C-alpha cells in the first residue's frame, strides 16, 4: 500500500453510515478499497443494496473527509460482487446490538465460483431465532418484513414487549 493510500484510509475509515451512525462504513464493509488508478486516487464503495438512498451522502462524506486532509479522489461505486452482511465486522455487529438493532445472522456461504446466488428456503424450514437486543430473549416475532430502512425488518420481543429492528442478512 502506498503512502497516499494509507493517508486516504486514515482520513475515511472513521466515517459513519448515514442511516446507522454508530457503525463506520469500513466496519459495514461498504468501503471496499483505496487505490491509485489511471486518473488518480480512487475510493471504491459497494452499496448495501442497489437502491440504497444513502450512497450519494456516503460519496459526499468520503470526498469531504479526503478534501479536509488535502486529498482528492474519485469515488467508484462497485456493484459486483454484491455486498453481503457477511462483510460486516464483529465490532459492527456488537455496535448494532448496543444501538438496539439485532445484527444479521451469517448468510449461506457462496458457491465454489464465488458468485452470490439467490437461495430459496424449503417449505417447513425453521428460520433462525432473532434475539432481542434489549433483553437478549429469543422469544421474538417479526411484525413487518420492512423496517425503518429497506435493509431491516421490524421485530417485537414477546418478553420485554419492546419493538426493534433486525438487520436482514443478504
* Mean pLDDT, residues 44-64 taken together: 93
What mean pLDDT do residues 143-158 have? Answer: 91
Question: How many Å apart are CA 38 and CA 41, to the nearest integer?
Answer: 8
Burial class (CB in 10 A: 0-12, 13-18, 19+), 5: middle
Mean residue pLDDT of the chain comes to: 89
Domains and CATH numbers, the chain: 3-77 (3.30.300.130), 99-167 (no CATH)
User: What pLDDT is attached to residue 125?
Assistant: 52
The pLDDT tens digits of the residues spanning 95-141 come to 999 999 999 998 755 444 444 455 555 455 557 899 999 999 999 99
From the list 161, 152, 156, 154, the residue with the least C-alpha distance to 141 is 156
What pLDDT sits at residue 13?
95
| pLDDT of 66 over the 50 cut | yes
pLDDT for residue 52: 85
More confident residue, 156 or 118: 156
pLDDT of residue 111: 43
What mean pLDDT is predicted for residues 58-66?
Answer: 97
Closest by CA position to 43, among listed 67, 22, 18, 19: 67
Give the model's pLDDT for residue 108. 58
28-37, 86-95, 126-135, 139-148, range with the lowest pLDDT: 126-135
pLDDT one-digit tens code per residue, 36-48: 988 899 999 999 8
* Cα 9 to Cα 99: distance, rounded to the nearest angstrom: 25
C-alpha cell of residue 125: 424450514
What was the pLDDT predicted at 113?
A: 44
**Confidence (pTM):** 0.81
Amino acid at each position: 500500500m502506498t503512502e497516499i493510500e494509507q493517508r486516504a484510509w486514515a482520513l475515511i475509515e472513521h466515517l459513519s453510515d448515514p442511516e446507522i451512525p454508530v457503525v463506520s462504513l469500513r466496519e459495514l464493509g461498504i468501503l471496499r478499497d483505496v487505490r491509485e488508478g489511471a486518473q488518480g486516487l480512487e475510493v471504491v464503495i459497494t452499496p448495501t443494496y442497489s437502491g440504497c438512498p444513502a450512497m450519494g451522502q456516503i460519496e459526499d462524506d468520503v470526498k469531504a473527509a479526503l478534501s479536509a486532509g488535502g486529498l482528492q479522489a474519485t469515488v467508484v461505486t462497485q456493484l459486483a460482487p454484491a455486498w453481503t452482511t457477511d462483510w460486516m465486522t464483529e465490532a459492527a455487529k456488537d455496535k448494532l446490538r448496543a444501538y438496539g438493532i439485532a445484527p444479521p445472522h451469517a448468510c449461506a456461504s457462496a458457491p465454489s465460483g464465488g458468485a452470490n446466488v439467490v437461495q430459496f428456503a424449503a417449505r417447513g424450514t425453521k428460520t433462525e431465532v432473532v434475539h432481542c437486543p434489549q433483553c437478549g430473549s429469543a422469544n421474538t416475532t417479526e411484525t413487518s418484513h420492512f423496517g425503518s430502512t429497506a435493509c431491516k425488518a421490524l421485530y417485537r420481543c414477546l418478553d420485554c414487549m419492546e419493538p426493534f429492528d433486525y438487520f436482514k442478512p443478504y
